[in-house]
Amino acid sequence: MSTEQTRVAIITGGSRGIGREAAQRLAAQGFPVVINYAGNDAEATAAVEAITSAGGRVIAHRADVSEPEAVAGLFDVAEQEYGGVDVVVHSAGVLNALKPIADTDFDEFDRVHRVNVRGTFAVAQQAARRVRDGGAIITFSTSVLGLSLPGYGVYAATKGAVEAITMILARELRGRDVTVNTVAPGPTATELFFDGKDEQTVARMAAQPPLERLGRPDDIAEAVAFLAGPARWVNGQTLRVNGGIA
């Protein structure tokens, strides 16, 4: 890849939370970014306005990541608008209602797997085909996977699949100078994290890390920016960004 070539990033789930923070961070570093979002037009518009007002280049594109044709269209838009794709940050995902495995409904199981596993596979497939040499692919797992917390059976299972897909893709892209890694956040102060949790649960989880606080979206975006840019010798790894929980 030419050193003069502007590096372009796609961020799925980029309208809110960690994805939005990552989009803002990369845009501030000079990446033209394409924000993918599932359906909240207002949040996508707000994300675009925030980046644009800070001097960044950004467009938003609505697409269901679990639909391969929609994901291909997302990459088409990035190529048409900015000339190519160098970095893919796949942060889109959903969390199930926290229940024991014995009480989990299979409709819920299928819904979460469709977005988190099928969606990751669809994005990984397009990224493998279309990210330019010298690029980076970053997926998202969770530190819950290593903690084996009760109630997270469905979600953790999907993220185990994400890690497997990511590690295999890193090896399949041998010779391309494309890094492939996954970021596994710990408890992070986002809308997704707070949903359905009472104050006692939040306080207990915030006290778990030795740093004794929840992560912030900018903590995770910092790791994303590292993997997207200078970390050319980090490949096929899971980076657990969790304040030292495990």
Residues catalogued as catalytic: 155
| Sign of the alpha-carbon dihedral angle for 78, 163, 197, 99 | positive
Q: How many other C-beta atoms lie within 10 A of the C-beta of residue 124?
A: 22
